Amino acid sequence: DYLQTRHHEFYFTVQEGIDALEEVIYHIETYDVTTIRASTPMFLMSRKIKSLGVKMVISGEGSDEIFGGYLYFHKAPNKKEFHQETCRKIKALHLYDCLRANKATSAWGVEARVPFLDKEFINVAMSIDPEW
């Protein structure tokens, strides 16, 4: 209510995912299992979003990489190595996550915006002490 947004929940069956695999592979242009696994839900969601008449969505790509949201970040031996891994992950995002998200959403004519990857936002976030 506070943000005055409309919330929609979509549920997909395993069979719907299996049925979409050929199309997913075609649109993301790879047979890489990890990429296909990550692309299928976004592909199915984009199809539903398009059916609602929505043309643009906000996506969370980059947030886990910037803020250490993955388990392996929590196992970093010190804050220097945490920071180095964060930088490495952010620099590689365009090769994998962003490309995957773009292909999965654009297959249905949906544009995904990625506010966590705004350069100014990244600069501020990366200046935060990892101890926090």
Whether residue 6 is contained in a domain is answered as no
Cβ-contact 47, 24 below 8 angstroms: no
Report which DSSP code applies to 107: T
Tell me whether residue 47 is in a domain.
Answer: yes
Average pLDDT over residues 11-17: 97
pLDDT of residue 94: 86
Helix axes 33-51 and 97-106, enclosed angle (nearest 10)? 40
Q: Does 9 fall in a domain?
A: no
- Look at residue 28 and tell me if it is in a domain: yes
Q: Give the C-alpha separation, 22 to 24, whole Å.
A: 6
Domain count, the chain: 1
Is residue 119 a part of any domain in this protein? yes
Confidence of residue 15 (pLDDT cuts 50, 70, 90): very high
Q: pLDDT tens, 64-109?
A: 999 988 888 888 898 888 888 899 999 998 888 999 999 999 999 9
Q: Is the pLDDT of residue 131 over 80?
A: no
Assigned domain for 53 exists? yes
Q: What is the CATH number of the domain that holds 63?
A: 3.40.50.620
5 occurs within a structural domain: no
**Block residue for tokens 């964060």:** 86
Model confidence, pTM: 0.83
Q: How far apart are CA 26 and CA 31, in angstroms?
A: 9
* Average pLDDT value for residue range 19-44: 96
Is the pLDDT reported for residue 115 higher than 80?
yes
Domain range spanning residue 53? 14-126
User: Which pLDDT score is estimated for 7?
Assistant: 85
Residue 131 in domain: no
